[in-house]
Structure 1
């Protein structure tokens, strides 16, 4: 019985020493303090992304939002619907990149690929003034792409980490950021149906 107590005491001591070593090595106290200063929605946003990474095994799939286009809606109707919704929300289409190349023969046919770029210049300036890094995410883009089955999709960056992943944005900036996000998502949801 004394031997069992000694073994258990030794195991307990090793666990305590390991916990202290991890705490010191990774400076968990400092990290926990910093994490407590993040936006209240930050952990949920990160966990949603991490769950998607675990499910798909692809970080890129975890960072996007996708909507399937109704098969009865012509692509140009989708584009027009999104342009109309953007205009109503004071956003402008600042680019239209056709990525499909009819000359490429890859054995899979010619996939339709097109990227539409949208921006609100006044909001963009304010966010770049706040952090230059925001400029790397501009303009907002929506990809129109055909998959291997011929289905068409609208895909954009999921904006939750930009909004909630760090310290809480100032209230006026958060309001504008949420406006951009809701506009982009509305453009996709209604555009996929050809609806204005």
Structure 2
């Protein structure tokens, strides 16, 4: 009787191991086939994001690009510079959310928080026509924020996953997406130094 139990246990273990091997093999193959259809830069973009999550422990930090504003550059000059660069690239400032000024209504100092919104309507339409989900990321935003040390920062969404995180975008769309990304990054880099 024990012999029969042992045989049945061995057969059961073999069946379970076989089922696991088949499941892993075909499930992994399916995932690998799908991954091979992504943009060639997708894995690098995801790994960069994952490394940032490992470093900070915060997913939001991994999804933003930040540039420190030179202390000699006024916030008004930063905004003027960004609006000028955006206009030169056919992007419009479509919103301005003043979350917190330097002083509250009682005259007490608080940290500065402001979000500027930019859009190129013709490009926005192209992407929404491609997938409505892109609309959830519009308009492009740049946060101006003062940290606990009094340093000011410009932050925006890191756009590499939008460009490269899925299947390769059609060439005309990729050109437009890169134009938006390059413009947003240029706005931040130059404005942080007071350049136009």
- Tell me the TM-score normalised to structure 2 length: 0.86
For residue 99 of structure 1, give the secondary structure of its aligned residue in structure 2.
Answer: strand
Counterpart CA distance in 1 for 2:105 and 2:163 is: 39
Aligned equivalent of 1:113: 113
**Misfit runs of 4+, over 3 Å:** 16-19, 101-105
Aligned residue for 1:20? Answer: 21
Q: 1:98, 1:114 within 8 Å by CA — same for their partners in 2?
A: yes
Secondary structure of 1:141's match?
Answer: strand
Whole-angstrom CA distance in 1 between matches of 2:170 and 2:48: 24
1:104–1:110 CA contact under 8 A, matched in 2: no
Deviation at 1:18, TM superposition (A): 9.1
Corresponding position of 1:6: none
The equivalent residue for 1:183 is 183
Query: Residue in 1 aligned with 2:73?
Result: 73
Q: Which residue of 2 aligns with 1:144?
A: 144
Larger Rg: 1 or 2?
2
The count of aligned residue pairs is 179
Question: What SS does the corresponding residue of 1:38 show, helix, strand or coil?
Answer: coil
Aligned to 2:32: 32
Q: Deviations for 1:129-148, whole angstroms, at most 9, x for unmatched residues? A: 00000000000000000000
Contact 1:94–1:117, Cα closer than 8 Å, also in 2: yes
**Unmatched segments (≥5 aa) in structure 1:** 1-12
TM-score normalised by the chain length of structure 1:
0.86
SS in 2 for 1:27: helix
Cα distance, 1:17 vs. partner? 5.6
